Amino acid sequence: MVKEMRSVVNPFSPLKHNNVIIKFAVSFLLVGLAFHLLVSDSFRFSSVVETPVPANEETEPESLMASLPAEEPLSNDFAANESQTSQPGKCDLFVGDWIPDPSGPFYTNQSCLQIEGHQNCMKNGRSDSGYLHWRWNPRGCSLPRFNPKKFLRLMRNKSWAFIGDSISRNHVQSLLCTLSQVEQAVEVYHDEEYRSKIWRFPSHNFTLSVIWTPFLIKADIFEDMNGVSSSEIQLHLDKLDKKWTDQYRNLDYAIIAGGKWFLKTAIYHENNVVTGCHYCPGKNLTELGFDYAYRKAMQLIFNFITNSGHKALAFFRTTTPDHFENGEWFSGGTCNRKVPFKEDEVSMTDVDTIMHNIELEEFEKATALGPEKGVALKLLDTTRLSLLRPDGHPGPYRQFQPFAEDKNAQVQNDCLHWCLPGPIDSWNDLVMEMIVNGGI
């Protein structure tokens, strides 16, 4: 937290003429120093952002506004949200609490056509709706709700990609559902397995895509759509996946994320030689562990972004904890809780802690290079706030009406992905706050 410097000199106090001149000069110097500190701080890469100024003083980022035509004023709802913010200062958006929100989500499973069946919890038979009525509230400042109309205006003539695994696809569906309340996206591309997709918002010339690359680095995967493997994954720890790197320089914005796939059995390759593995008993290979591979991947990713010379704004989203209890996804694990955890009610697992620490350490190294690289890299640290939401997963309602024929049916639970609508919608609030008030 950077302390704000303020001048306490009042140039209009009834002092002698010389004292007035001297104090005015001192005040001028202090104000100049404060301005210098403020400007230099704006170049730091951080998850800490300034709280918004009052609505009537808000200015758009210059780099975005240059391409925006004059349009109608924003709705009063957004102005009201902005007026609830705390005094100007610094706030860590990722430290806070989930608070009740009677207003509920922007959309429903009936008003949005982009929800995949696995995340359509209400259609699949989930009867409780309490999980829809919570909002993330950072401590020390208020977080305005995502404004789809304003977001589309900011994104006119821009391109944005979500790069990662199925959680990234889960997130892009959340954004599509929210934006659909203003304009329906048109799907213009999908790969053979419908994992990578591209949409366009015609009236804003905005392109939104999801690029499925679960490791972000080169991987030979022998797994079908149901997660059944026929052979070990071959993971190349010194090569990024060209599926996303070849497209990166065409993007204005990107949200990049890795995580859970690194826990799978994999054979590790470096310099075209097998160097070890993760969880490969009987292979007579050195057990290097998922953490070894994940750190290598983070280093490759951040090195590519910071040395790309491309001026995109890149967010790195941290790993997402799951909430399986009494087993794992393959051994009867469930997630039946109905309300969020409080801060002192839950701790991260050892695996999630290791993965999250690697992300933070490598991100800090990358951003320590400073602004001379000319690359905007921001941390979207959703790990802890997601940990507090065990109530927001599909659970058994990953399938359609799983208990319609047998109330005691044994079904596989999904305690990793998020219901739509659901807690993942709050990630959009964070992203927009970081764009609008994050020093872009």
- Residue 133 is a catalytic residue: no
Structure tokens at 312: 């995109």
**Active-site residue (options: 159, 166, 196, 426):** 166
**Active-site residue (options: 168, 417, 425, 429):** 417
Are 160 and 254 within 8 A, CB to CB? yes
Structure tokens at 325: 């209890």
Its sign, for the CA torsion 404, 409, 412, 416, is: positive
Are 136 and 98 within 8 A, CB to CB? yes
**Active-site residue (options: 414, 425, 426, 429):** 414
Cα dist from 71 to 74, 150, 422, whole Å: 9, 10, 31
- Residue 166 is a catalytic residue: yes
Read off the DSSP letter of residue 118.
G
- Residue 414 is a catalytic residue: yes
Cα dist from 417 to 209, 285, 317, 424, whole Å: 19, 33, 15, 9
Residue 161 burial by Cβ neighbours in a 10 Å radius (0-12, 13-18, 19+): buried
Among 288, 246, 245, 247, which Cα is nearest to 270's?
288
CA 34 to chain CA centroid, Å, is 32
* Catalytic residue set: 166, 414, 417
